[in-house]
Structure 1
Amino acid sequence: MEWDGRKIIHVDMDAFYASVEQLDNPELKGKPLAVGGSSKRGVVAAASYEARKYGVRSAMPSVTAARLCPDLIFVKARFDRYREVSQQIRDIFLDYTDLVEPLSLDEAYLDVTQNKLDYPSATIIAYDIRRRIYETTGLTASAGISINKFIAKVASDYNKPNGQKTITPDEVLPFLEALEIRKFHGIGKVTAQKMYQHGIFTGADLKGKSLEFLAEHYGKSGAHYYNIVRGIHKSTVKPDRIRKSLGAERTFSDNISSEVFMMERLDQIAEEIEKRSAKSDVAGKTVTLKIKYSDFKTQTRSRTVDHYVNKKDDILKIAQDLVGQEKFRESVRLLGLSLSNLNTEDKLQDEEPVEVQLEFEF
C-alpha cells in the first residue's frame, strides 16, 4: 500500500440531536430520549445513548421504540437549533483547515495534511477540535484519524462516545484485515449477509477474493471492495459538496384514498420544495414523485423537462401529470417530491488526489 501523505479526520458528534435536547433541558440528562414524533406514524430521528441501550435507533418507527423502552421520552425535532449549533462546530473546523466536507449537520471530513496552525500531528488536531467543541457547545464528539476518508470514517466509530482512534499508515492493513466485514463503512446488512455466504467474515477474507470474483458477485461495487480492504480510497475532501437532489416528503396519520387528497398534500410539499430551492438557490429538470402505501411498498415516478424548475406551480403541474400516469393503489401513507438533475451539477469536477511531501508525524 502506498500512502500519498494525506491526513484525514472524520468528526462525528455523539447522538447530536438528542444531546442538544439534553443540553438545553437539563431535566432530560441521563434519561432515554428520542427526537421525533410519538404518534403511530412517527419515526425516531435520533436517540440518546440511554435509549440506545434498549435497542432504540434512528429511522425506527416510534411505536417500536416505545415498546422497546416504555420510559422513552419523545421530543419534537428543532432543526433551526441543530443548524445553529452545527454552524458553531463548522466555525471551529475552519480554524484548522479550509478543506472541510460536511456530510450532515453532525459529521464532517477534514483534510489537515497542511493545516492553518502548522500542527505536526493530525491526532493532536483531533484532540484539540474535540476539546474546543466541548468548551464552545457543551457537546462531545468522536473522531477517526487516518490516511483516507474511508478509514477515518470507520475509525470514528471505534471509541464512541467522546473518543477517537488514529490508524497510522503502518497500521492500516493489519487493522483492515482484522476488521469484521459488517464494520466496513458502506457494507450494510444485506451485503454483509451475502458476503457471509461467500465465506467473507473479516477484511482478511475479503482480501483473499480476487477482483474477478468480487466483480462477478458484487458488480460495480466489487472493485471498490477490492480497493478499500487494501487501504486504497482516493476520494478527496471536497469543501464545496455539490447538492444533487432536493426534496420533501410527508407521512400521514391517516391513509389517503383519493387523488384529490393526494393533490392537496402534494400542493403543500411543492410549496416546501419551492422554499428550500430558493434558500439553496437551486433548480432542477427532473421531478420525482414518491408514493409509499400502507403495506410499505414504495413506487416512484419521474419526469424530466428541458428547462430548470423550482417554483411551486411548475413542480405541482408535473406532479399532477405523474399522479395521472396510472391508477394508484389505495391506502397511501406517504407522499414525497424531489428535484434532481440540478443546475448545481454543472459545477461538478473530478479531482485528483493531492500529492504532498511526507514530512509530518501522524
Structure 2
Amino acid sequence: MNNPARNRITLHVDMDSFYSSVEVRERPELKGLPVIVGSDPKVGNGRGVVSTCSYEARELGIHSAMPISRAYKLCPDATYLPVNMELYKEASEKIMNLMRIFADRFQQVSVDEAYLDISNCIEDYESASLLARKIKEEVLRKQGLTCSIGVAPNKILAKIASDFNKPDGLTVVRPDEVEDFLFPLPVSKIPGIGKKTSPVLEEMGIETIGQLATMDVQLLIARFGRTGVVMHQLANGIDHREVREREEVKSISTEDTFEEDIFDPAAIRNVFLDLSEKVHDSLARKRFRFRTVTIKVRFEDFRTYTRAKTLYAATTDKQAIVKTALLLMEEFAGKGRFRLLGVGVSKLEKIDDRQTILNDFF
C-alpha cells in the first residue's frame, strides 16, 4: 500500500483525564482517589452526566457521559466536583502555547487534544520519539499534568496510537509497522465507528480493523455508501488530511515556573535567553515576524504582572526579543524573588517564502 502521506511525521497529544487531573493538581490531597467532574449527584438523584473522571474512578466502572446518578451508586464515596471551565481553559492555553513551539504546523482540536506536524524539523522516528518525550516532560514540569502521545505518519494513526497506552503513554507507529499495529485492534478504535456502526460491521463478520481493511470495498459501499470508502481507507492507515491551524496565530509565548524562586540577575538573564530562544524557534518554523514583545512576571507571593513594548518595525531578530525582554524586566529588578517568568511576541506578520528576509532566521 503505497501512501505518500506516510512520509510525514505527525503527533497527536491527548491530555490524560484532563478536567479531573487539573482538579487534582489544584487539590493534591485528592491524588490517588476517585474524582468525578460533572453534575451534582444529589445523593444519587442528579439528572446530569459525568464530564470526566480520574483513572481511579474508571477502575470502578465509571466513565464519561455516564449518568451521574449511576456513578453515585457505583461510588458514593468519590469526590464529586462541578465543571470549572475557566480553570481548564487557562491550563489548556498554557499547554497549547507550550506545544506550539515544537511544531511546524499545529492544530488544536479540543481543550485537551492537539496535532503537531513535525515533518520539516525532525528527520526520523527515533528523533520524533525523543521530541515526544521532551513534550511530555515539559508539560509535566510546567503544568504538573501528564499526557499521552501517538507518533505516526498521519493524523488517524497518531490519534489511535495516543489512546493505545493511556495514561502517560507514548506509542510510536513507523510506516512499516502500520498493519501490525492497526489490524489486531477492534474496529471501534477507529474514531467515528461507535455504538451504531459497530453492530452493523459485526453482522458483516467484521470485528477487527484488519478484517475491515481487507473487506471488499464494494460491499462496504453497498451497506454504508461513501462512508464505506472512508472507513476502508482509515482501516488501511490512509489519511490525507493535513495538520492545519484552526484559527489565526495572534501570539507566541512560553513561560517557566521554577522549583525554587530565583532573584539572581545572572539566573534571570539565562531564563530570558532560554525563553527567547524557544519563542524565536517557533517564529522561524511558522514564518512570522513580530512587533511587540511581552514579559510575564510572577513573584513568590503570586503577584503577577505583564509588560509590553512595541518596536518601530516588525522583525525576526532574536536579539530584539532578548534585549526588549531584559529592558522590560528592569522595572522589577531587586523587588523580590520570582516564581515564574515568561516571554511572548505578538502583532505577528506572515512572511512570504520568497522574501529574502527568511535569511534573518539563521
Q: TM-score, normalised by structure 2?
A: 0.64
Which residue among 219, 224, 228 is the counterpart of 2:230? 224
- Spell out the pairing of 1:301-340 with structure 2 (5 A cutoff): none
Q: Alpha-carbon deviation of 1:121?
A: 2.1
Separation in structure 2 between the aligned mates of residue 92 and residue 139 of structure 1, nearest angstrom: 13
Q: Alpha-carbon deviation of 1:232?
A: 1.0
Contact 1:95 1:116 in 2 (8 A): no
- Spell out the pairing of 1:234-249 with structure 2 (5 A cutoff): 234-240=240-246
Q: Is the partner of 2:20 in helix, strand or coil?
A: helix
Name the residue aligned to 1:155.
161
Which residue among 9, 13, 16 is the counterpart of 1:14? 16
Distance 1:166-1:119 versus aligned 2 partners, 3 A rule: closer
How many percent of aligned residue pairs carry the same amino acid? Answer: 40
Q: Alpha-carbon deviation of 1:185?
A: 2.2
Aligned residues: 242
Distance 1:119-1:233 versus aligned 2 partners, 3 A rule: closer
CA RMSD of aligned residues (A): 1.9
Q: Alpha-carbon deviation of 1:126?
A: 0.9
Whether 2:178 is the aligned partner of 1:172: answer: yes
Q: Is the partner of 2:156 in helix, strand or coil?
A: helix
Name the residue aligned to 1:28.
30
Which residue among 57, 61, 71 is the counterpart of 2:63? 57
Name the residue aligned to 2:75.
69
Separation in structure 2 between the aligned mates of residue 208 and residue 192 of structure 1, nearest angstrom: 16
Gaps of 5+ in 2: 249-362
Distance 1:119-1:228 versus aligned 2 partners, 3 A rule: closer
Whether 2:9 is the aligned partner of 1:3: answer: no
Q: Alpha-carbon deviation of 1:207?
A: 2.1
Contact 1:46 1:58 in 2 (8 A): yes
Name the residue aligned to 1:233.
239
Q: Is the partner of 1:227 in helix, strand or coil?
A: helix
Q: Alpha-carbon deviation of 1:179?
A: 1.7
- Spell out the pairing of 1:19-168 with structure 2 (5 A cutoff): 19-38=21-40, 39=42, 40-115=46-121, 121-168=127-174
Q: Alpha-carbon deviation of 1:116?
A: 8.6
Q: Alpha-carbon deviation of 1:60?
A: 1.4
Q: For residue 47 of structure 1, what is the amino acid of its counterpart? A: C
Q: Alpha-carbon deviation of 1:70?
A: 2.0
Q: Alpha-carbon deviation of 1:119?
A: 9.6
Q: For residue 103 of structure 2, what is the amino acid of its counterpart? A: T
Q: TM-score, normalised by structure 1?
A: 0.64
Separation in structure 2 between the aligned mates of residue 164 and residue 20 of structure 1, nearest angstrom: 20
Q: For residue 19 of structure 2, what is the amino acid of its counterpart? A: Y
Separation in structure 1 between the aligned mates of residue 159 and residue 227 of structure 2, nearest angstrom: 18
Q: Is the partner of 1:121 in helix, strand or coil?
A: helix
Contact 2:12 2:113 in 1 (8 A): yes
Q: Alpha-carbon deviation of 1:204?
A: 2.1
Whether 2:213 is the aligned partner of 1:211: answer: no
Q: Is the partner of 1:189 in helix, strand or coil?
A: coil
Q: For residue 3 of structure 1, what is the amino acid of its counterpart? A: P
Separation in structure 2 between the aligned mates of residue 17 and residue 71 of structure 1, nearest angstrom: 19
Q: Alpha-carbon deviation of 1:3?
A: 3.5
Contact 1:41 1:62 in 2 (8 A): yes
Name the residue aligned to 2:201.
195
Separation in structure 2 between the aligned mates of residue 85 and residue 98 of structure 1, nearest angstrom: 22
